[in-house]
Homo-oligomer: A and B are copies of this chain.
Amino acid sequence: MHPRQDGDSPVRVGVIGGGQLARMMIPAAVNLGIELHVLAENSGDSAALAATTIGDYREREDVLRFAEGVDVVTFDHEHVPTEILRELVERGVRVHPSPDALVYAQDKLLMRERLSELGVPVPEWARIETAEQLDLFLQANGGRAVVKTARGGYDGKGVRVVSSSTDIADWLAVGDPLLAEELVDFRRELAQLVARRPSGEIVNWPVVESIQRDGVCAEVIAPAPRSAGKLADVACEIATTVAEELGVTGVLAVELFETMDERLLVNELAMRPHNTGHWSIDGSTTSQFEQHLRAVLDLPLGATGTRDQWSVMVNILGGPAEGSLADRYPAALGDQPTVKVHNYGKEPRPGRKVGHVTAGGDDLDEVAYQARAAAAYFQDDNLG
């Protein structure tokens, strides 16, 4: 149990999930004097420095008990069952984002249906329950498609590029409805983050470019190069519409495709701080983590101006083949004194996000070089 702090007001935020997103809320919580409570699966989880309860987010009792000790419940991930969240709300617990909003981040089919209703631009898509339905979709879309499980996917998991229904025979056998989407011919991937309070105030950061490798975010450039003007306006308008129409509270990340013909299509939604917003810790007046805490507490939102003309965030994927990230500090920090290093305290493992680095400055080439150079010290090829 976390000791009640001398003079603290009763402002206790409960985060379900103990990964790096919960961990990165700790500095913002310390600064603002907010008590952060985390429901983690294991005592060694990334956010273990916060007041930690060990429990299972899929277990009704664990979640209800955790919620009793906090003033508002929010999330490090989208995987809490909707029925548990609805029970929290019925019991009077403040849950942000609400289960009614969160369901659109949990279920990709519901998300596609709702965004289509709202007229928000999305790729061509179809609900798939049979091989025949997929065959029809493939015929109408050039013979290839992306198929996703409606629930449970992340970082490229639960996503396949297919050219035949045999490619997803195992998924079809399960019987859960699937989402088929056109293979979008995109120029690049962007992300628009906004934050919204329950009482309605909404703010946005600049739209960013997200560079993916093997289905995982590798780098983010903020703002997205050549985005000033119409592109930025449209991205902001899309994310604002989604946040308001879906009633999202806290941070909303809208992942976007910029097509070859310069349209923006919504790819994915996340209703929590997001990898494409990590640059804001060092690069914005208000980080996405501070903003998320302010938003879920219905406090006035902070300014989202950039501290540097360009910020580049590079993920540390995998980590060192031997030892820990900190073993590389003498070399990395010595070589790149301006770069900020974020270490998630996780065991290195192939492809795992174990940290990130951020650089900022006026010259994008130089900034990107610094961030990549620093990140390279922390990852070995066989784990990258």
A residues neighboring B (CB under 8 Å): 2-9, 11, 23-24, 26-27, 30-34, 42-46, 48-50, 281, 285-286, 294, 299-303, 305, 307-308, 319, 323-327, 329-330, 333-334, 337-338, 340-348, 354-355
| Cβ contact of A31, chosen from B308, B330, B338, B340, cutoff 8 A | B340
Q: Is the CB of B299 within 8 A of A7?
A: no
| Cβ contact of A326, chosen from B33, B43, B337, B347, cutoff 8 A | B33
Q: Is the CB of B7 within 8 A of A329?
A: no
- The SS class assigned to the A binding surface is loop
Contacts of A5 in B (CB 8 A): 44, 46, 48-49, 345
Q: Is the CB of A44 within 8 A of B345?
A: no
Q: Is the CB of A305 within 8 A of B338?
A: yes
A305 to B338, CA, bound (A): 9
Question: Considering the complex of A and B, which 10 residue pairs feature the smallest CB-CB distances, nearest first?
Answer: A33-B343, A27-B27, A6-B44, A9-B324, A9-B326, A300-B334, A7-B347, A300-B333, A5-B345, A303-B338
A3 to B50, CA, bound (A): 11
Residue of B nearest to A297 (CB): B329
Given A6-B46, A6-B347, 4 other A-B residues pairs in contact with their CB atoms under 8 A:
A2-B49, A26-B26, A31-B343, A303-B337
CB distance from A69 to the nearest CB of B (A): 16
CB distance from A8 to the nearest CB of B (A): 5
A7 to B43, CA, bound (A): 13
Q: A7-B347, A32-B341 are in contact. Are A329 and B27 (CB under 8 A)?
A: no
Contacts of A341 in B (CB 8 A): 31-32
Q: Is the CB of B354 within 8 A of A7?
A: yes
A374 to B106, CA, bound (A): 39
Contacts of A308 in B (CB 8 A): 307
CB distance from A245 to the nearest CB of B (A): 25
Q: Is the CB of A299 within 8 A of B329?
A: yes
| Cβ contact of A323, chosen from B9, B42, B337, B348, cutoff 8 A | B9
CB distance from A213 to the nearest CB of B (A): 22
A343 to B285, CA, bound (A): 17
Contacts of A4 in B (CB 8 A): 44
Q: Is the CB of A333 within 8 A of B7?
A: no
Contacts of A319 in B (CB 8 A): 7
A338 to B43, CA, bound (A): 36
Q: Is the CB of A9 within 8 A of B325?
A: yes
| Cβ contact of A338, chosen from B30, B42, B285, B325, cutoff 8 A | B285
Q: Is the CB of B300 within 8 A of A44?
A: no
Residue of B nearest to A4 (CB): B44
Residue of B nearest to A319 (CB): B7
CB distance from A351 to the nearest CB of B (A): 15
CB distance from A56 to the nearest CB of B (A): 18
Q: Is the CB of B340 within 8 A of A8?
A: no
A342 to B5, CA, bound (A): 15
Q: Is the CB of A325 within 8 A of B26?
A: no
Contacts of A286 in B (CB 8 A): 337
Contacts of A340 in B (CB 8 A): 31, 285
A302 to B340, CA, bound (A): 9
Q: Is the CB of A342 within 8 A of B31?
A: yes
